[in-house]
């Protein structure tokens, strides 16, 4: 049996928990109680696991076994309901996690497209409260009166809330428009820390899957495919223990080509998004230096070989930088690159930030880019920036906190 000192239960899967319980020694059913307490009830401390006898709680504590739920250090609430969290890990490092509540017009940043909104609406009809069609064209049930974006009653979440989670402290990929890149990479997150972000936010928002339909996007700090094993383990725990369906998750990669191949072979896998961000190699290498190692030809070959499931598509993200990659000629090149693929494009106007030497394009240019893609037969969506007033976008939270310009919590 491994050294039990300083063990966090969060991050352990069924078999690891079974062997921990076995080594205590305790009967096997205790493992199930621990799983339930950690991933479903999301208790904060071992002392709070009410299903265990007091003596066993003491024994666990004495052995240095803790839950390992990360602590919410700061919380900022945006006017649009977005909540960004600065989450503190056991070693004092912090990452950001963002909660985006329902009602963003069908583009929750989760790789879903407008068609899925109808599907979600159909799902929502199974609850008695939402049987009346809301006014207008938006098939989203109106939020229940009296609920605030923060703190709700379980079961009220009708399927559009998304949690954006981090996979690393900082990032090594060095994309020139990204604030996280400015931090460099400090370390990988453990599977427990990845799952822990979700558990901490679910607890804070008082929502609980699967009754509350939660989408997850691995689009926070870090490159998930450079922390592949922990990411894959976290996904498995999120699906099997926390209860979030894999089709409600999207992982975004900057284009770590060998891992795209590996990912396609995983039995449990979220939907795939690829950060394209440029329409030709020269431009992409300038914006994303990793393109020197894995160029567009390699990236597109991996995307084309990717084994899509029924009703699945690849999402390409394209951050539009004013006057740099947002011209009609770029849109035409993108259309050419993606021709014939089962995919869609999410266009994201740059979220500017300190230390970022690019500008946000005009709305007309964004619309023009979208139009060219659509005319070429490629579904293209413009993603609405969320939580701009609280710097919730893309690495801005930690960065802005670090340079001490953050608003008061």
| Residue 257: C-alpha distances to residues 253, 292, 300 (Å) | 9, 12, 9
Residues that bind ligand SAH (CB under 6 A): 173, 177-178, 219, 223, 252-254, 275, 277, 317, 319, 348, 350-351, 393-394
Q: How far apart are CA 395 and CA 117, in angstroms?
A: 28
The least distance separating ligand SAH from the CB of residue 365, rounded to whole angstroms, comes to: 15
Residue 97: exposure state from Cβ atoms within 10 A (0-12, 13-18, ≥19) = buried
Q: Which of 164, 171, 178, 394 is catalytic?
A: 394
Q: Which is nearer to ligand SAH, 158 or 351 (CB)?
A: 351
Tell me if residue 394 is catalytic. yes
DSSP 46-58: GGG-TTS-HHHHH
Rounded Cα gap, residues 350 and 355, in angstroms: 13
Residue among 56 and 392 whose Cβ is closer to ligand SAH? 392
CB of 287 to ligand SAH, least distance (A): 9
Angle at Cα 375 formed by Cα 373 and Cα 376, nearest 5°? 65
Q: Measured from the CB of residue 388, what is the shortest distance to ligand SAH in angstroms?
A: 10
Q: 96, 241, 246, 317: which one is catalytic?
A: 96
Least separation, in Å, of the C-beta of 131 and ligand SAH? Answer: 37
Of 168 and 190, CB closest to ligand SAH: 168
Give the separation between CA 195 and CA 69, rounded to whole angstroms.
9
Q: Report the alpha-carbon distance of residue 148 to residue 301 in Å, rounded.
A: 46
- State the nearest-atom distance from the C-beta of 316 to ligand SAH, in Å: 9
Instruction: Tell me the residue length of the chain.
Output: 409
Cα separation of 249 and 218, whole Å? 8
Minimum CB distance to ligand SAH smaller for 43 or for 256: 256
Catalytic residues: 96, 394
């Amino acid at each position: 049996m491994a050294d039990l000192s300083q063990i966090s239960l969060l991050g352990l899967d069924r078999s690891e928990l079974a062997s921990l319980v076995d080594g205590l020694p305790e009967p096997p059913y205790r493992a199930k109680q621990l799983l339930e307490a950690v991933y479903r009830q999301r208790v904060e401390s071992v002392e709070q696991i009410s299903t265990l006898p007091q003596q066993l709680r003491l024994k666990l504590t004495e052995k240095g076994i803790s839950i390992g739920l990360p602590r919410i250090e700061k919380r900022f609430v945006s006017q649009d309901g977005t909540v960004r969290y600065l989450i503190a890990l056991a070693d004092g490092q912090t990452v950001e996690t963002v909660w985006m509540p329902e009602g963003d017009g069908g583009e929750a940043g989760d790789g879903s497209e407008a068609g899925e909104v109808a599907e979600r609406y159909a799902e929502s009809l199974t609850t008695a409260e939402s049987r009346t069609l809301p006014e207008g064209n938006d098939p989203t049930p109106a939020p229940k009166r009296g609920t605030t974006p923060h703190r709700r009653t379980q079961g009220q979440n009708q399927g559009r809330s998304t949690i954006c989670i981090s996979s690393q402290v900082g990032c090594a990929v060095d994309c020139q428009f990204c604030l996280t890149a400015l931090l460099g990479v400090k370390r990988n997150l453990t599977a427990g820390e990845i799952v822990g972000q979700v558990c901490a936010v679910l607890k804070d928002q008082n929502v609980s899957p699967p009754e509350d339909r939660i989408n997850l996007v691995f689009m926070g700090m870090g490159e998930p495919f450079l922390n592949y094993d922990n990411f894959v383990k976290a996904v498995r725990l999120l699906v099997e223990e926390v209860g979030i369906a894999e089709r409600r998750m999207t992982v975004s990669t900057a284009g770590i080509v060998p891992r795209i191949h590996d990912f396609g072979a995983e039995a449990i896998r979220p939907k795939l998004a690829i950060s394209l961000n440029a329409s030709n190699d020269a431009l992409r290498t300038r914006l994303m230096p990793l393109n020197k190692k894995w160029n567009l030809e390699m990236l597109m070959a991996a995307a084309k070989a990717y084994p899509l499931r029924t009703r699945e598509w690849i999402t390409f993200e394209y951050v539009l930088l004013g006057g740099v990659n947002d011209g009609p000629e770029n849109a035409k090149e993108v259309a050419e690159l993606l021709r014939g693929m089962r995919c869609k494009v999410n266009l994201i106007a740059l979220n500017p930030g300190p230390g970022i030497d690019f500008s946000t394009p005009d709305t007309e240019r964004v619309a023009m880019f979208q139009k060219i893609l659509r005319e070429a037969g490629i579904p293209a969506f413009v993603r609405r920036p969320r939580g701009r007033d609280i710097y919730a976008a893309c690495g801005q939270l930690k960065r802005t906190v670090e340079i001490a310009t953050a608003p008061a919590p």
